[in-house]
């Protein structure tokens, strides 16, 4: 009993995160690769925010939501990667209980914000394409700020609920077989039954996740129905070009999330779990600004004007 209580007490104070390797050379490689990826994500998303704020032609609901999405991506990748970089550099994989709680809370909040804004952006495209005459009246700035506030507040409430239910558990082990504090991994090291926490996650996934997914699918169903009625091929291409970046970003987010948390158990192993975590937490924040800068001509043009104004030249984006 004395040994068991000491393990529990130690586990409550700190956890041990999983690293890519115990070999020092590979840890240094991990540090440099993740540092490069992190800086690329931060710079890319910051540029999107800066461009939207700088160019008055981009002061529209679609780009307002895009700037919020870039902000959430910046915070999202900053929640996990800096800790992983520091652990690889110092060979110190411990994370305190408080840091673990904060990490879980922020991951849940920012993942919820990402899904919320992708849903709102689908509604924005639906209004712009299917109801263009009513668009400016319905998607006014007051409505946009209300949607953004609702996205952030609802995600904070949802994250608080899941974080509290998870850390009410007692943990008998300290080893988390993941790069960051992840709820399924915390369930695995709990010595109390996590059925309440698991039930809340399932209920949230079914209600919130499926609602957002169905809302997006219905919105794009109406969008495609409207687009196919356009007789001009140039008009159809113009409409599709405004939807393609959003659909690509949405597909990337949903694919990585499903692979991380809903893949068959037969596909689950420590290397695969580690790879899935990298995909889910790193790939969307890195790829989102690239997708929008490459596929969106207005972003491309605004970037060109800003570069000419600030640096006097612009060589273009591949």
Does 178 map to a domain?
A: yes
Q: Kindly tell me if the per-residue pLDDT of 12 is higher than 70.
A: no
- Do the domain assignments include residue 316? no
Contact 120, 68 (CB under 8 A): no
Residue 317 in any domain: the answer is no
* Nearest C-alpha neighbor of 229 from the set 93, 115, 118, 129: 129
User: Average pLDDT, stretch 32-54?
Assistant: 91
The CATH number of the domain where 37 resides is what? 1.20.1070.10
Q: How far apart are CA 96 and CA 91, in angstroms?
A: 15
In a domain, 231, yes or no: yes
For residues 130 and 80, is the Cβ–Cβ distance under 8 A? no
Sign of CA pseudo-dihedral 75, 29, 40, 255: negative
Give the range of the structural domain holding residue 114, as residue numbers without chain letter.
2-311
Q: What is the pLDDT of residue 4?
A: 42
Kindly state whether residue 318 falls inside one of the protein's structural domains: no
- Number of domains into which the chain is organized: 1
DSSP 166-200: HHTS-BS--EESSSS--HHHHHHTBSS--HHHHHH
Residue range 85-115, pLDDT digits in tens: 888 888 888 888 899 999 999 999 999 999 9
Is 291 within 8 Å of 248 (Cβ atoms)? yes
């Amino acid at each position: 009993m004395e040994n068991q209580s000491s393990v529990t007490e130690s586990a409550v104070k700190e956890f041990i995160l999983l690293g890519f390797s115990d070999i020092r050379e590979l840890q240094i490689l991990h540090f440099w690769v993740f540092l490069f990826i992190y800086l690329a994500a931060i710079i890319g998303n910051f540029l999107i925010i800066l461009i939207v704020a700088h160019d008055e032609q981009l002061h529209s609901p679609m780009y307002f939501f895009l700037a919020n999405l870039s902000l959430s991506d910046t915070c999202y990748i900053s929640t996990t990667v800096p800790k992983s970089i520091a652990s690889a550099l110092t060979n110190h994989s411990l994370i305190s209980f408080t840091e673990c709680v904060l990490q879980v809370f922020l991951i849940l909040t920012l993942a919820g914000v990402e899904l919320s804004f992708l849903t709102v952006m689908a509604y924005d495209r639906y209004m712009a394409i299917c109801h263009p005459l009513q668009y400016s009246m319905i998607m006014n700035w007051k409505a946009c700020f209300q949607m953004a506030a609702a996205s952030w507040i609802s995600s904070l409430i949802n994250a608080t609920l899941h974080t509290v239910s998870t850390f009410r558990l007692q943990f008998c082990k300290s080893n988390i077989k993941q790069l960051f504090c992840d709820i399924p991994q915390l369930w695995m090291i709990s010595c109390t039954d996590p059925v309440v926490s698991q039930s809340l996650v399932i209920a949230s996934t079914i209600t919130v996740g499926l609602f957002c997914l169905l809302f997006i699918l219905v919105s794009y169903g109406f969008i495609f129905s409207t687009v196919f009625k356009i007789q001009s091929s140039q008009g159809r291409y113009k409409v599709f070009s405004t939807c393609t970046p959003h659909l690509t970003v949405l597909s990337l987010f949903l694919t990585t999330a499903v692979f991380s948390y809903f893949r068959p158990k037969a596909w689950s192993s420590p290397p695969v779990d580690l790879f899935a975590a990298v995909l889910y937490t790193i790939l969307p924040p890195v790829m989102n600004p690239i997708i929008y800068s490459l596929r969106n001509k207005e972003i491309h043009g605004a970037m060109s004007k800003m570069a000419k104004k600030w640096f006097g030249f612009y060589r273009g984006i591949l």
